[in-house]
Amino acid sequence: MKKFPAIVCFAALLTGILCGCSADIDATAETQEKEISNLIVVGFSQVGAESEWRVANSESMKSALSEANGYELIFDDARNEQGNQIRAIRTFIQQDVDYIVFSPRVETGWTSILQEARDAGIPVIVIDRDIIVEDRSLYTAYIGSDFRKEGETAVTWLENLLKKQGRSEDTIHIVHIQGTIGSSAQLGRSAALDAAIVQNPNWEIVTQEQGDFTRAKAYEVMQGILQTTKDIDVVYCENDGEALGAIDAMQEAGLTCNADDGVIVISFDATKLGLTYCLEGKIALNVECNPLQGPYVADIIQRLQQGETVEQEKYIDETWFDSYTITKDMIEGRGY
Ligand code: GYE
């Protein structure tokens, strides 16, 4: 929006008319239309499309930052590569967009590109996963989830369930399937489990493997684990896709997934599909992670446009669902 003053557009149009080139006039008129529109130009680097959660997150951004709402959104899918995200952000800088938004694949490695954005005077909003930079003024705002808290919700629920079942002293064999290594979603959720292992000496990690937040990878990984052991009490998956993949593999191997008389599957996200598994009892606990971040980003941008200062870190409120209390209505009323 800030890039094209109407006067420049008018001059360009006039030049076209004086030259008498009709094709140019059409093109110029089109440009003029765009230029004098008051659209706020936002470059958004999305990490990928690895999960249902991610698809819902992209949709939320697209609908909140729509043209009807006053935005031109330049959407780039980085296909789960940090290098692609850095390239996309650099392109946004060259395009001189009004705002840059990105959902970082991992926490580290962003300092130089953020420095470039700052040198160009473009505010950066980080969404979903967090970043670590020495100079926090390199980004204007972060909006996302408290992943450590999500993990703590999960392990506290498990402690309570095992207590209720009279298994507090029993050895509990836990398979841990992790998300994208180095992402703040993985780091927070893994850290909570690691801390709980220290607190509960009877909890044993059978194995810790990478599931990349995808159903396919978790299925493959779980199949491999089941060839070594079937003595599993809990599978701690770091998102719904992984839980579904692990459940597929366990069911094929003849295991039952159920909180009372089978493997206790723990998941994160609480997408409609994940919650359907929870309703069926296959996922015992699903900790919510809210992907509907578009309206929060739009709100931050609107406040910056008014010259207001915004909170630098904001966590979205989240809840959890378990197979004992979930109902069909809870799933139907959800936005993702
Ligand atoms: O849990 C997972 C996704 O970063 C919170 O990434 C996000 C995670 C989410 O692919 O499904």
Q: Are 225 and 174 in contact (CB under 8 A)?
A: no
CATH T-level fold of 37-144+291-305: Rossmann fold (3.40.50)
Task: Give me 232's structure tokens.
Answer: 């599993």
DSSP-H helix ranges across the chain: 6-19, 22-36, 52-64, 82-94, 111-119, 147-164, 184-199, 215-228, 240-252, 272-279, 294-305, 328-332
State pLDDT tens for residues 291-329: 999 999 999 999 999 999 999 999 999 999 999 999 999
The identity of residue 31, as a single letter, is T
Looking at the chain, the domain(s) classified CATH 3.40.50.2300 span 37-144+291-305, 147-289+321-332
- Report how far ligand 1's centroid is from the alpha carbon of 298 (Å): 21
Q: What is the pLDDT of residues 51-87, one digit of tens each?
A: 999 999 999 999 999 999 999 999 999 999 999 999 9
Beta strands across the sheet bearing 172-178: 203-210, 172-178, 234-237, 264-269, 285-288, 320-322
- Residue-by-residue pLDDT tens, the chain, 336 positions: 655 444 444 444 444 444 444 555 555 555 555 555 799 999 999 999 999 999 999 999 999 999 999 999 999 999 999 999 999 999 999 999 999 999 999 999 999 999 999 999 999 999 999 999 999 999 999 999 999 999 999 999 999 999 999 999 999 999 999 999 999 999 999 999 999 999 999 999 999 999 999 999 999 999 999 999 999 999 999 999 999 999 999 999 999 999 999 999 999 999 999 999 999 999 999 999 999 999 999 999 999 999 999 999 999 999 999 999 999 999 998 989
Rounded distance from Cα 163 to ligand 1 centre (Å) = 30
Choosing from 107, 126, 177, 269 the residue with most ligand 1 atoms within 8 A of its CB, the one to mutate for a pocket test is 269
Q: How far is the CA of 133 from the centre of ligand 1 (A)?
A: 21
The per-residue pLDDT for 12 is 43
Q: Give phi and psi for 100, each to the nearest 5.
A: -115, 130
The amino acid that residue 81 corresponds to is E
Nearest CA to ligand 1 atom 8: 185
pLDDT at 35: 54
Report how far ligand 1's centroid is from the alpha carbon of 243 (Å): 13
The finding on whether 128 has its CB within 6 A of some atom of ligand 1 is: yes
State if residue 150 touches ligand 1 by the CB under 6 angstroms criterion.
no
Say how many C-beta atoms besides its own lie within 10 A of residue 331's C-beta.
Answer: 18
Q: What is the pLDDT of residue 265?
A: 99
Sign of the CA dihedral running 282, 288, 289, 293 = positive
Architecture label for domain 147-289+321-332: 3-Layer(aba) Sandwich (3.40)
Place of tokens 């392990």: 155
pLDDT at position 15 is 45
The reply to whether ligand 1 has any atom less than 6 angstroms from the CB of 147 is no
Q: How far is the CA of 135 from the centre of ligand 1 (A)?
A: 26
Residue nearest ligand 1's atom 5 by CA: 185
